[in-house]
Amino acid sequence: MSSLVIESPAPVLLPVNGTEAQFPVRRVYCIGRNYAAHAVEMGHDPDREPPFFFQKNPNNLDASGEFPYPKHSNDVHHEVELAVMLKSGGDDIALNDALGHVYGYALSLDMTRRDLQGAQKKLGRPWEIGKAFERSAPVGPIHPVTSVGHPDQGRIELKVNNNITQEGDLNQMIWKVPEMISYLSEYFTIEAGDVILAGTPAGVGPVHRGDVMEVSVDGLGSMTVNVT
Ligand code: MN
């Protein structure tokens, strides 16, 4: 009989819309530059090059509706994204099988300490300090595929203090959801509980304490997040 030498870390659990049941998180993958107009605004070529991913930590996901402005940055940006929650996985998942592994979808924000990320980029260093900080990924309740299907088109939008700052359409994603799942599974073993943040449309920009962010995606409702 083994025992733990420290208390087991709390599991990361996300709410599922319309039920008390929760979704346990295993890993979080985030794709970079997945909408051409956002790639251009960040100074990159919008051509379809192989995708690239970075990771956030499972407990960076936060369904509280509050985003505490983080330390060590004066330029924290919003990135509205579709989140994809997986119920199963594997290695080398075929494109045609990929959607069968999706449990559901949610609204999310890939909050970014842009100044720190920019400094890391310049030095060719990893991005965690800019991306994977505490509560850096506000997320709404998960909408199961059984209720909403697989949203692959429709408006994705972010308002800050009632002004539209980001807007796009899910059909503008360079790498579609099945392609991201299939690609990731070539390099990592994908499992139930994995989450993919599917990239952000153009219009990223700074937030400040006191701002109210309102995220919406057609078919997935809306989510309000207060910057505190
Ligand atoms: Mn992003």
16 alpha carbon – ligand 1 mean position (Å): 23
Place 1 in a pLDDT band, splitting at 50, 70 and 90: low
What was the pLDDT predicted at 42? 85
Distance of CA 223 to the CA centre of its chain: 14
CA of 166 to the centre of ligand 1 (A): 12
Residues 24/12, Cβ–Cβ less than 8 Å = yes
Report CA(110)–ligand 1 centroid distance (Å): 5
From ligand 1's centre to the CA of 223, what distance in Å? Answer: 17
Task: Note the pTM of the prediction, 2 decimals.
Answer: 0.96
Phi-psi region of 14 (alpha: psi -120 to 50; beta: other; left: phi over 0): beta
For the chain, give the percent of residues with pLDDT over 70. Answer: 100
Q: Given this model, what pLDDT does residue 49 score?
A: 83
Please state, as a whole number, how many other Cβ atoms lie within 10 Å of the Cβ of residue 73. Answer: 19
Q: List pLDDT tens digits, range 99-140.
A: 999 999 999 999 999 999 999 999 999 999 999 999 999 999
If you measure from the C-alpha of residue 198 to the centroid of ligand 1, how many angstroms do you get, rounded to a whole number? 7
CA of 94 to the centre of ligand 1 (A): 25
- CA 24 to chain centroid: 16
Cα dihedral: 169, 166, 124, 84 (round 10): -50
Give me 214's structure tokens.
């309102």
Residue 2 — pLDDT band, cuts 50, 70, 90? Answer: confident
Q: Which pLDDT tens digit goes with each residue over 149-188?
A: 999 999 999 999 999 999 999 999 999 999 999 999 999 9
Distance from the CA of 87 to the center of ligand 1, in angstroms? Answer: 22
Cα 199 to ligand 1 centre (Å): 5
* Domain residue spans of the chain: 13-227
- With pLDDT > 90 as the criterion, what percentage of the chain qualifies? 93
C-alpha 6 to ligand 1 mean position (Å): 34
Lookup: tokens for 158: 């972010």
- Residues, CB within 5 angstroms of ligand 1 (ion): 79, 110, 200
Q: CA 123 to CA 126: how far, in whole Å?
A: 9
Q: How far is the CA of 209 from the centre of ligand 1 (A)?
A: 21
Per-residue pLDDT reduced to its tens digit, 43-79:
887 777 889 999 999 999 999 999 999 999 999 999 9
Q: Does domain 13-227 have CATH number 3.40.50.300?
A: no
Report the separation in Å between the CA atom of 210 and the middle of ligand 1, taken as the mean of its atom positions: 22
Distance 112 CA to ligand 1 centre (A): 8
The string of DSSP codes covering the chain is ----SSPPPPPPEEEBTTSS-EEE---EEEESS-BHHHHHHTT---S-PPP-EEEE-GGGEE-SSEEPPPTT-S-EEE-EEEEEEES--BSS--GGGGGGGEEEEEEEE--EEHHHHHHHHHHT--SHHHHS-TT-EEB--BEEHHHH----SSEEEEEETTEEEEEEEGGGBSS-HHHHHHHHHHHS-B-TT-EEE----S--EE--TT-EEEEEETTS-EEEEEE-
195 CA → ligand 1 middle, Å: 13
The token pair at 47 is 């051509």
